[in-house]
């Protein structure tokens, strides 16, 4: 995984000249564009793991742009979408925005609007990707804990003291202390508050409560 991968802007539009003009515009600000004349072509494309966004024409042969947005959500492809359309109306744009579209632009649009939308979308994807990455490393730390230690994390994040934990687990106070120290070490945290936040991110607290 490269440290600073080049973002990609995907464009789906059935009109070749519009497609090409978008590529020209994006390349003029140094963005790499991948063009598709249909949604299927986009799905068939092996997308690299890099920050990306999708510029999507509402009116397409086959599925409409809005239907394709739904499809992507179902498939779990969390790419931020910027809609472009020849004749958009308000209900259509509201629906698109509710489903998480970044922007809804009516052709012909101002280049700044599109580029700003692309920037926002890429930033959003970047952030998303960053969060995803952090969560993944946290999960890896969490996975290195023993079953007892995972149980202890849940109890700690629930706000129980050592003594209470020992009582709850049916162990001695000393053993509870050792577990706690091990957890702090393995999870690479120094304070209790930090541990509780991680447990929150991982959803451990709820999990353990549910177990209980």
Residue with structure tokens 């700044």? 112
Closest CA to 32 of 15, 9, 52: 9
- 56 contacts another protein (rule: CB under 8 A): no
Chain-centre distance of CA 129, in angstroms? Answer: 5
- Asked if 207 interacts with another protein (CB under 8 A), we say no
Site membership for another protein, residue 67 (CB under 8 A): no
Chosen residue from 8, 9, 12, 25 binding another protein by CB under 8 A:
25
* Phi, psi values for residue 52, rounded to 5°: -155, 160
Taking the complex as a whole, the smallest distance from the CB of residue 109 to another protein amounts, in Å, to 7
Helix (H) or strand (E) holding 57: strand 52-57
Among 6, 29, 188, 209, binds another protein (CB under 8 A): 29
How many residues bind to another protein according to rule CB under 8 A? 23
Closest to another protein by CB, 58 or 199: 58
Residue from 48, 62, 127, 159 touching another protein (CB under 8 A): that is 62
Site membership for another protein, residue 98 (CB under 8 A):
no
Q: Which stretch binds another protein (CB under 8 A): 106-114, 123-131, 188-196, 204-212?
A: 106-114
Phi, psi of 204 (to 5 degrees): -70, -40
Between strands 103-106 and 81-85, the pairing is parallel
Q: Is 60 helix (H, G, I), strand (E, B) or coil?
A: coil
- Tell whether residue 21 is a contact of another protein (CB under 8 A): yes
Identify the residue among 6, 111, 194, 200 touching another protein (CB under 8 A).
111
Query: In 3D, which of 196, 194, 195, 151 has the Cα closest to residue 170?
Result: 151
Nearer to another protein, 33 or 101 (CB): 33
Let me know the angle formed at the C-alpha of 152 by 148 and 154, rounded to the nearest 5 degrees: 120
Cα-Cα-Cα-Cα dihedral sign, residues 92, 98, 101, 106: positive
Shortest distance in whole angstroms from residue 80 CB to another protein = 20
List residues binding another protein (CB under 8 A): 15-18, 20-22, 24-25, 27-29, 59-62, 84, 86-87, 107-109, 111
């Amino acid at each position: 995984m490269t440290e600073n991968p080049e973002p990609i802007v995907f464009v789906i539009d059935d009109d070749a000249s519009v497609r090409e003009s978008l590529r020209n515009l994006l390349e003029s600000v140094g963005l790499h564009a991948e063009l598709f004349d249909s949604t299927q072509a986009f799905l068939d494309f092996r997308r690299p793991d890099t920050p990306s966004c999708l510029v999507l024409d509402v009116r397409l042969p086959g599925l409409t742009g809005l239907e394709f947005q739904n499809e992507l959500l179902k498939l779990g492809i969390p790419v931020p979408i910027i809609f472009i359309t020849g004749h958009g109306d308000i209900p259509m744009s509201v629906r698109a925005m509710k489903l998480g579209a970044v922007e809804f632009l009516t052709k012909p649009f101002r280049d700044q609007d599109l580029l700003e939308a692309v920037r926002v979308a890429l930033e959003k994807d970047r952030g998303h990707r960053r969060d995803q990455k952090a969560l993944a490393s946290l999960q890896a730390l969490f996975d290195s804990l023993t079953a007892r230690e995972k149980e202890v994390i849940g109890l700690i994040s629930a706000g129980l003291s050592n003594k209470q934990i020992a009582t709850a687990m049916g162990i001695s106070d000393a053993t509870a202390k050792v577990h706690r120290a091990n957890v702090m070490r393995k999870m690479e945290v120094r304070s209790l508050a930090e541990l509780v936040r991680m447990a929150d991110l991982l959803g451990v607290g709820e999990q353990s409560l549910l177990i209980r």
